[in-house]
Structure 1
Amino acid sequence: MEPLCEKFGQCGGCAYQDLPYTEELSLKLGKLKDVLRLKTDLPDGLFHPVTASP
């Protein structure tokens, strides 16, 4: 697959380049919530929706 981003190989986000942006954000939020559930006692309701980059 040809990289879609000029920062290919620098930022670590390349695993998501073939997904729609909204799906990428959803997956990243899910991963963050999973880690925080394992390591903290923060309630799920604490999380706000992800704000996409302009």
Structure 2
Amino acid sequence: IGIWYASGTEYMQTLVVGEELQVNKVLPVLFGGAVVLGIVIYLLFGRSD
């Protein structure tokens, strides 16, 4: 369900050609999101000393 919701956005539609997901476009986005999330968690919890 979440995947179909995400595919509703314009950007996600450009990542899908036919019924195939273009992994080479999706992976950098997921990686970037993971890095940002990691930094946010580090700032919130890692430096709370």
Q: TM-score, normalised by structure 1?
A: 0.42
Q: Kindly indicate whether structure 1 or structure 2 has the higher relative contact order, using CA contacts under 8 Å at least 6 residues apart.
A: 1
Structure possessing the higher radius of gyration over alpha carbons: 2
Determine which structure has the larger strand proportion and give its number: 2
In the superposition, the TM-score normalised over structure 2's length comes to 0.46
More helix by share: 2
